[in-house]
Amino acid sequence: MRWPAYVPENSGGDWRSRRRQALLAGLDLAGTRGIEIGPLADPLVRKSESDVRYVDYADQAALALRYANDPNVDVAGIVPIDVIWGGSTLRQCFRDELGFDYVIASHVIEHVPDMIGWMQEVASVLRPGGRLYLAIPDRRYTFDYLRRTTSLGELVDAFLRRSRRPTPGQVFDQAAHGAEVDLFTAWSGGLDAATRADRAKLRPALELATFAAEHADYMDVHCWVFTPLSLLEILVALVDLDLLPFRCISFQETQSYELEMFLVLEKADTGDAAAKATGRESLLPHLARVRGAEAGAADPASDPAPREIRTAWSRVGRRLRRIAAVSCGAVEAEPSFAPGTRLVAGPCPVPSASQLGRAYPPYRRIFDFPGKFIDAGHQAIAELPVDGALIQGPVPGFLRPADALALYELAYFSAGDVLEFGSYRGLSTTILCMGVHNAGRGVRICSIEKEPDFQEATARAVDSLGLDRCYRALPGNAADVIERLIAQGRTFAVLFVDHDHTYDEMRGTCRRIDKLLRPGGIALFHDFNDPRNVSDPECYAVHRAVTELVHDPRMTFIGVIGCSGLVRRSAP
């Protein structure tokens, strides 16, 4: 959720200024270095104010595509992202650039499947005394109104399991019990939980939770639900358990006719008994104050909102939306393939070396879809002329029809960017770009190519077909580019591996696949089924490298199509 999209009409800059002051209480930006997670189009700290790094789950272009049709987001104002926090930890993302003064996260922590682990990751990049600034929604005044508050046990369970996705139960809970809430009605005591419960939501919620349990798709929900009292009680317990490496600097409970609370935490030395005691003591006054306020709370109806607030809130959207979705540390923020996509290619034995090239299996679908072809683009590939078993199209290359059709299918159903290793003159690249373009999900093809001539030829081929918006060149040696991508926390839904086939190069790539390929993602290895893997093993070691790769229990061989072998990374 991104709060500024829900500013009451005619509230002007004063409201924004007051919110910023409350959230960033005590933060002197002069001469500081910090991180803001999920700034989107309205960062709380501007580059002109501080040496701030913007962190999100995707880069500026991908975010613009993601929110192109969202009326709550000023797409033109989305700021450039400095660090993409994906499969790597936050510390790995910043590597040697640590010791930050502050981290800001507004309406992020409730989405993180492992909240304890997330806070520990944040602490790892802060200097001693560095601060974490949080804005957290209050269950009582949001669409979580009907949900029960999160328990300590649920948080500990997620931490011990190192949760990477919301559980099916969390998906069910939000779908079944999420309810549109008018903020004024909530504060004036007009909400009745008993009458607002909707039994008609239960069956669809179960279907959604079942889908979450059976598929690798990441389904974003509020994993955690708090009130000021429940949050403070949990924080005290986490300090007692040596799980919270912070002490509390300030806490502002939800103010009248608002829906969020503000928390400022300072990094502490959890190994020191005195620091632990200080951490607990820093929370207790806030806990006592909130307990006292809730015990003696006045009738909400006796404290009516000013007329201008009632009028403003009657005009705004009632449902909160999360915009700044962030992949944080252990959180896998994106699915590999489009929701509802069902895999039909199943596990199978890896062919022996003696079987290579004896047959080139024709194209068979990897996912379930109606009809013989996905769309006209898919059919057009099947109808290209063939010369010596290779397709002949507007772009030169070496692909059998089966391999080309499989590439298009993987790209079409991909919900995340595709990474290509080796483009030659752009045949495979253009087929992948056609697939993602026709699917219309804003996915891009990132293509690694070390030869300048091939880079230029590929760029021309992509541009000639009007597919340049789907393409990003990654020039350089594959090993070097891979390390940069891993350092940036980049992950991909599909990998197409068709670069240097020597054993050292293939082994190096395969050993890094677990860092690049999302859970549920698929890697297609071209020339896996080529007999030269036997007759010329010095130059062709694709089969050998893939055979070693699938010894990893997370990797499953799912078949041969044409000259290619397919490997799927297991969903978490």
Domain residues of the chain, as ranges? 3-315, 353-569
Fold of 3-315: Rossmann fold (3.40.50)
In terms of DSSP H, where are the helices of 44-197?
A: 60-66, 90-94, 115-125, 152-160, 168-177, 183-187, 193-196
For position 14, what pLDDT does the model report? 61
pLDDT higher than threshold 90 for residue 98: no
Structure tokens, 308: 């201008």
pLDDT higher than threshold 60 for residue 327: no
CATH architecture of the region 353-569: 3-Layer(aba) Sandwich (3.40)
For position 251, what pLDDT does the model report? 94
For position 216, what pLDDT does the model report? 67
Structure tokens, 208: 């959604």
Most confident of 13-17, 84-88, 107-111, 531-535: 531-535
Q: Which residue has the tokens 């130059």?
A: 539
Give yes or no for a contact between 419 and 494, defined as CB atoms under 8 angstroms apart.
yes
Give yes or no for a contact between 73 and 40, defined as CB atoms under 8 angstroms apart.
yes
Confidence of residue 160 (pLDDT cuts 50, 70, 90): very high
pTM over 0.85: no
Structure tokens, 517: 């390929």
Confidence of residue 180 (pLDDT cuts 50, 70, 90): confident
What's the mean per-residue pLDDT of the chain?
85
CA distances for 34 relative to 47, 83, 99, angstroms: 10, 12, 9
3-state helix, strand, coil in the chain (%, to 5): 40, 15, 45
CA distances for 353 relative to 96, 178, 282, 466, 497, angstroms: 44, 55, 65, 41, 19
Radius of gyration of the chain (CA): 26
Instruction: Give the number of other Cβ atoms within 10 Å of residue 511's Cβ.
Output: 14
Task: Indicate the burial class of 93 (C-beta count within 10 angstroms; 0-12, 13-18, 19 or more).
Answer: buried
Domains 3-315 and 353-569 share a fold: yes
Which of 209, 186, 146, 172 lies closest to 300 in space, CA to CA?
A: 186
pLDDT higher than threshold 60 for residue 313: no
- Chain segment 457-478, per-residue pLDDT in tens: 999 999 998 898 899 999 999 9
For position 278, what pLDDT does the model report? 85
